[in-house]
Chains A and B, each alone.
Chain A
Amino acid sequence: MTISLDFFYFGYLIMVLFYLIFTFFNVSHLLRYGLITISNILVVIFFLGISLLILYVSWGYISQINWQKTVTIPFSLTYKE
């Protein structure tokens, strides 16, 4: 069976989209119910900073891959000696 790597790339983008949605809810809960204080804002900035760092480093690797490429997937994944 052949499959385009796009399939995995779109799957990844969907996971990132869910990540952003949950991030939005977390941040809005913290600021709405915990009040907008300097410590809260610093926590949010720290969280968003590390998130951006993970996405930036990931993008460094993702951009090097040719996602248009098709690959053949064996029907049974077997361990090769």
Chain B
Amino acid sequence: MLNFFIPHRLEGEKIILLVRRHLFVLAYKELIWILVAILPIILYWLLRETFDNLLPADLQQPLSVIFVSVYYLYIWLFIFFTFVDYYLDVWIVTNERIIDIEQRGLFARVVSEQKLYRVQDTTAEVKGFFPTVLNFGNVYIQSAAEKERFVFKQIPNPNAVNKKIVSLVEENKKFHHIIQ
């Protein structure tokens, strides 16, 4: 059974879909941090003589040790933070509503929701080379009287998710006796 923290869970509410961004998006971001981690090694290798003469001999070792330690500690922290940010950005479709949970940095978290029966229109979009090859993209959900659309960003199998949402919306509208 799918399990995740849902704010003010309704009685009998079941998670039908739990979607995150495609793993490629996470891998791409982590790759950037790995490149940033390798960068000082390449720079030192290229400009070794310059670095060796830049600081007084007494300062070289202490500052190098401190710099390397802090630099790699923080790179590791950013790698972890990127994962946490990816993991906590989630779109949940239950049998009653759609919930958009977005982690914005460490100190902001936005949770918005929409009742399924209020959904009017959904669109799946796959755009670009990697999204086409790896089959990921966006799903836009337009609800009644809402200017702002819900967007499931860079999710795997957007067409299948779109189809599932459409069928859940139809079921939910029948359940609530809303005739289209």
Contacts and interface: CB of A to CB of B under 8 A. Distances in A.
Interface string B46-82: 0000100111101101110110111011101100110
A30 B4 CA distance: 11
A38 to B, nearest CB: 12
A33 B101 CA distance: 10
B55 A77 contact: yes
**Most B CB atoms within 10 A — which of A12, A51, A74?**
A12
A12 B69 contact: yes
Contacts, number: 93
**Chain B interface, DSSP helix/strand/loop, else mixed:** helix
Interface size class of A (residues with CB under 8 A): 35 or more
Contact of B87 (A15, A30, A32, A65): A30
B77 A25 contact: no
B5 A33 contact: yes
Contacts of A73: 56, 59
A77 B106 contact: no
Contacts of B69: 12, 54-55, 58, 61-62
A25 B83 CA distance: 13
Contacts of A19: 73-74, 77
Contacts of A32: 5
B88 interface: yes
Interface of B: 3-5, 50, 53-56, 58-59, 61-63, 65-66, 68-70, 72-74, 76-77, 80-81, 83-84, 87-88, 101, 103, 106-107, 109
Given A54-B73, A65-B61, A79-B53, 6 more contacts: A12-B70, A54-B69, A54-B76, A61-B65, A73-B56, A79-B54
Q: 10 closest pairs, A vs B, by CB?
A: A58-B69, A71-B58, A61-B65, A80-B53, A12-B66, A47-B80, A15-B70, A25-B106, A26-B84, A33-B5
